[in-house]
């Protein structure tokens, strides 16, 4: 009986002293996110975010050519300030992801109505194109951003996101109509 008691006591001590792995994993994920390198590690003159009514007017899958401002005639754009660029960098480098999940299903369409371009001497040096309809992101270099990060970012700079292209077109067409009156 004494032998069973000693074995049971030793067993319980071993189980009670087991290191809590979940706390270690959470802490290591926080450290990894803080130690991630900046996404924006390239030289640029300005950063522009824009939403387009018809992305096929400008998007042919190749942003490596010179910027043709005429092709962006139907867009609503925002020049990003330093705070917005810092926020964007945190999103793109994965420092601001938190517990966001990307459970959305991707489709094949890819009509990137929301975009961010970085210009140096009026040439695109980096781009991020987001299609909320098919839940895809294409960019010059890989990002750690989640779709919800982009929804929040574009909404914060008043380039609203609509999952339905008809709502998107109606909203942005109404903005163009309002802007043309002034």
Region of residue 10 (left: phi > 0; alpha: psi -120 to 50; beta: else) = alpha
β-pair type (75-79, 114-120): unpaired
Structure tokens, 40: 């924006």
The side-by-side arrangement of strands in the sheet containing 123-131 is 75-79, 46-52, 114-120, 123-131, 136-139
The structure's pTM equals 0.70
List 50's β-bridge partners, or say none. 77, 115
Q: What angle do CA 42, 115, 74 make, to 5 degrees?
A: 130
* C-alpha pair distances (Å), 48 with each of 61, 73, 119: 18, 14, 8
Residue 95's nearest CA partner among 155, 141, 37 is: 37
Report the distance separating Cα 161 and Cα 175, nearest Å: 14
Handedness of CA 174, 175, 178, 181 (dihedral sign): negative
Name the CA radius of gyration of the chain, rounded. 24
Going residue by residue through the chain (182 aa), what tens digit of pLDDT does each one get?
Answer: 666 656 655 555 555 544 444 444 444 444 445 567 899 999 999 999 998 877 766 665 555 555 455 566 667 889 999 999 999 999 999 888 655 455 555 556 777 889 999 999 888 889 898 888 888 888 889 999 989 999 999 999 999 988 788 888 888 888 776 666 55
β-pair type (46-52, 136-139): unpaired
């Amino acid at each position: 009986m004494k032998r069973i008691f000693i074995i049971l006591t030793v067993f319980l001590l071993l189980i009670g002293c087991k290191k809590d792995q979940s706390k270690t994993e959470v802490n290591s994920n926080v450290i990894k996110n803080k130690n991630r390198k900046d996404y924006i590690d390239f030289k640029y003159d300005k950063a522009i975010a824009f939403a387009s009514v018809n992305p096929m007017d400008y998007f042919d899958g190749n942003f490596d050519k010179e910027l043709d401002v005429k092709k962006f005639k139907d867009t609503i754009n925002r020049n990003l300030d330093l705070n917005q660029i810092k926020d964007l960098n945190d999103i793109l480098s994965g420092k601001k992801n938190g517990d966001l999940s990307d459970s959305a299903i991707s489709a094949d369409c890819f009509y990137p109505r929301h975009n961010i371009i970085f210009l140096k001497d009026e040439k695109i040096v980096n781009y991020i194109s987001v299609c909320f309809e098919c839940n895809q992101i294409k960019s010059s270099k890989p990002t750690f951003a989640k779709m919800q990060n982009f929804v929040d970012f574009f909404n914060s700079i008043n380039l609203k996101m609509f999952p339905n292209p008809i709502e998107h077109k109606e909203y942005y067409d109404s903005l163009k109509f309002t802007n043309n009156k002034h």
